[in-house]
Amino acid sequence: MNYQALFLDIDGTILRPDHTYSERTKQAIKQVKNQGLEVFLCTGRPIIEIDDLADELGVKSLIGYNGAYAKYEGKTILNEPMPENDVDTFLRVAASKNHELILYTKDKNHFTTFEDDFVKTFKKVFQLRKNELFDKRLKDQILGITALNVDPSEANHYMINDNIRPSQVNVNSIIAAFDIIRVNMNKGEAIKRVLDELNIPLENSIAFGDGMNDKEMLQTVGVGFAMGNADNELVQYADYQTKSSEDDGIFYGLQQLGLVKEE
C-alpha cells in the first residue's frame, strides 16, 4: 500500500499518562516523515496549546478542537465554529445542571469559572495556559466545548439535536468531563477535508487513537489503530489494536505496516 498520510491523536496515543512521550514514538514519526508521509496531530485539544509538542516532534500540520480547525504547514485550511444558537443552548444546559464549560476559540480557552475544584484539576491535567473567562460576545467564534462536572448519566442533556454527541474524555481516569462532538464536523470529517485538499485517497491514510472522540477518525482512514489503552467501545471501529501509549504503540503499529524499523 502507498501510505501517504498519518493522523495521530495526542492524549493517550502520543502522550503517556505523565504527559511524556517515548523516544520510539518520536523516531517513528521521523521515519515516516522521511518516507514522504504527511503527518498531522489530530486532537480534541486547542491548537494554541500544542505548538510546543508539535515543534518537538517536527510536525507542522495540525487538526484541533475535535476537527473544527486544521492547519497544513501553517496555512489554515479548515475553520468551522459551532452555530451560535447551539452555543446558547449548551450554556443554558450547563447553568441549569450546575456544570461548567470550557469554550474554545482559536486564540483562547474560555472558562465559565476558574473557582471550581474540578475545573482547576482539569486545567492542570491538560496543562491549559491560554485561559480567560467566557464573554458572550465570542459566541460566533466557538470551535469546541468541553463540559465539566458532568456525571455520565447527565451527558445526554447535551444531545440537543441530531448533530451532537457527547464524548467522554479518556485521560487519567477523568470521568466527569465530556467533549461536545458534532456529527458533521469531527476528526473524521476534518481528515476528509484535509486529504481532499492534498489530493490523497482516504485508503492511503493511517490513524491512531484511544478515545471515543477518535471514532470517526478510525472509521474514515484506510487503516485505523486503537491503542492498547483505548476505550473498550473504540476498539470495534479500528482495523487493529496496537500496544499502549506507555509501550510504544505507535511505533509497533507502524512497524506492523512495514513503515518503521528499529534504529
* Domain 5-79+185-256 CATH superfamily: HAD superfamily/HAD-like (3.40.50.1000)
Burial of 80 per CB tally in 10 Å (0-12, 13-18, 19+)? middle
Pairing verdict, β 177-182 and 205-209? unpaired
Tell me what pLDDT residue 115 has.
Answer: 95
Condensed to tens digits (0 to 9), the pLDDT of residues 43-96 reads 999 999 999 999 999 999 999 999 999 999 989 999 999 999 999 999 999 999
Condensed to tens digits (0 to 9), the pLDDT of residues 176-214 reads 999 999 999 999 999 999 999 999 999 999 999 999 999
Which DSSP string do the residues of 40-51 spell out, in sequence order? EEE-SS-GGGSH
Tell me what pLDDT residue 175 has.
Answer: 79
Buried b (16+ CB within 10 A) or exposed e, 119-134: beebbebbebeeeeeb
Tell me what pLDDT residue 156 has.
Answer: 96
Condensed to tens digits (0 to 9), the pLDDT of residues 148-169 reads 999 999 999 999 999 999 999 8
Asked whether the predicted pLDDT for residue 172 surpasses 90, the reply is no
Contact between 57 and 34 under an 8 Å Cβ cutoff? The reply is: no
Tell me what pLDDT residue 174 has.
Answer: 77
Rg (CA), the chain: 17
Write down the domain spans for the chain: 5-79+185-256, 84-182
Condensed to tens digits (0 to 9), the pLDDT of residues 129-151 reads 999 999 999 999 999 999 999 99
* CA dist 209 → 38, 109, 216 (Å): 17, 23, 10
Whole-prediction pTM? 0.91
Mean pLDDT of the chain: 95
CATH fold of 84-182 reads 3.30.1240
Contact between 65 and 46 under an 8 Å Cβ cutoff? The reply is: yes
